């Protein structure tokens, strides 16, 4: 669809603004995996700030979709794929110390070598995985 890139750009600017607000406001780097992971395994500090961030992150899309602005999500219906994918994302992002928001958006924008390497690694692995699924299993 031709106008999808405009929504992508607009949404991206909002995501970047979110990171800028958090950085300039609190001095923290916005990373979804770091924030939720720190709460889950108990390693996180500044828990009230993290919890408030997650309330906003989960609450806004909920309100938007309730108000009628729905986004289609068409995740696979194979439970084994969902469980395997979730475990890989959960374990991988904690070992790598970041995901798309932390290493990609916040890391690369400050020319962090670790951010570039992480992004290249997860993008590359993602491309290979999707290609392998399509060619191998027709998914």
Partner 1 sequence: MRAAIALVSGALFGAGLHISGMTDTTKVRGFLDIGGAWDPTLAFVMGGAMLPMIIAWRLTAERTPVAGRAFPAPPRSEITRPLVLGSVLFGIGWGLVGLCPGPALASISYGGWQGALFLAAMLTGMWAVPPLRRLLDSRQRAS
- 94: nearest Cα among 56, 40, 29, 47: 40
90 binds partner 1 (CB under 8 A): yes
User: Contact 35/50 with Cβ under 8 angstroms?
Assistant: yes
Residue 127 Cβ vs partner 1, minimum distance, rounded to whole Å: 5
Site for partner 1 in 93-132 (CB under 8 A): 93-97, 99-101, 103-115, 117-119, 121-131
| Least distance between partner 1 and beta carbon 104 (Å) | 6
C-alpha to C-alpha distance for 106 and 69, rounded to whole angstroms: 28
What tokens were used for 122? 């997860």
* Binding status of residue 66 toward partner 1 by CB under 8 A: yes
Q: Give the Å distances, CA to CA, from 44 to 34, 35, 39, 41.
A: 8, 7, 6, 8
44 counts as binding partner 1 under rule CB under 8 A: no
Binding residue (CB under 8 A) for partner 1 from 45, 62, 67, 68? 62
Judged by CB under 8 A, does residue 137 bind partner 1?
no
């Amino acid at each position: 669809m031709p106008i999808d890139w405009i929504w992508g750009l607009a949404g991206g600017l909002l995501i970047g603004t979110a990171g800028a607000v958090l950085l300039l406001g609190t001095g923290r780097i916005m990373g979804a995996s770091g924030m939720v992971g720190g709460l889950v395994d108990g390693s996180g500090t500044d828990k009230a700030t993290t919890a408030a961030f997650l309330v906003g992150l989960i609450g806004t899309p909920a309100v938007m979709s309730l108000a009628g602005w729905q986004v289609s999500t068409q995740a696979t219906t194979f439970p084994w794929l969902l469980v395997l994918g979730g475990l890989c994302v959960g374990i991988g992002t904690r070992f790598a110390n970041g995901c798309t928001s932390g290493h990609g958006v916040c890391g690369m924008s400050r020319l962090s070598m670790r951010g570039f390497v992480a992004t290249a690694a997860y993008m590359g692995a993602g491309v290979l995985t999707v290609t392998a699924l399509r060619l191998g299993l027709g998914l």
